């Protein structure tokens, strides 16, 4: 596995956030779908926000996720993180 792929996949094993925000197209062999799927193996409740422009891969979002189409307004990502974070956090 390429070093670029190891870093985000290693993050998945730790509970460091309530929301994962990932682009679908990433450099290397791992895409955002795979990162979210791997993270969800460790945390079934992790909220996921995908950012997509063009992706040659068919969409396969996990439950409890949101897809933002690029280009999006910065206020949209802020709103999405707040909304998804509330779902993930019992407080």
Q: What gap in Å lies between CA 51 and CA 45, rounded to an integer?
A: 19
Torsion of CA 25, 16, 44, 67, to 10 degrees: -30
N- to C-terminal Cα distance for the chain? 38
Residue pLDDT, tens place only, 43-64: 888 899 999 887 666 677 677 8
What does each of the 91 residues of the chain score in pLDDT, given as a tens digit?
444 556 666 777 776 778 999 998 888 788 888 888 888 888 888 899 999 887 666 677 677 899 998 899 999 999 999 999 876 555 4
pLDDT number for residue 91:
47
* Distance of alpha carbon 35 from alpha carbon 16, whole angstroms: 15
CA 1 from chain centre, in angstroms, equals 20
Q: Are 62 and 37 in contact (CB under 8 A)?
A: yes
What the chain holds in terms of domains, given with CATH numbers, is 3-88 (3.40.50.2300)
- pTM for the whole structure: 0.78
Q: Is the dihedral of CA 4, 51, 57, 18 positive or negative?
A: positive
């Amino acid at each position: 596995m390429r070093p670029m792929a190891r870093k985000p996949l290693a993050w998945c094993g730790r509970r460091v956030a309530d929301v994962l925000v990932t682009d679908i197209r990433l450099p290397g062999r791992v895409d955002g779908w795979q990162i979210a799927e791997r993270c969800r193996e460790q945390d079934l409740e992790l909220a996921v926000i995908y950012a997509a422009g063009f992706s040659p891969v068919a969409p396969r979002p996990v439950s409890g996720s949101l897809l933002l189409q690029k280009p999006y307004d910065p206020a949209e990502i802020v709103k999405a993180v707040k909304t998804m974070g509330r779902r993930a956090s019992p407080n």
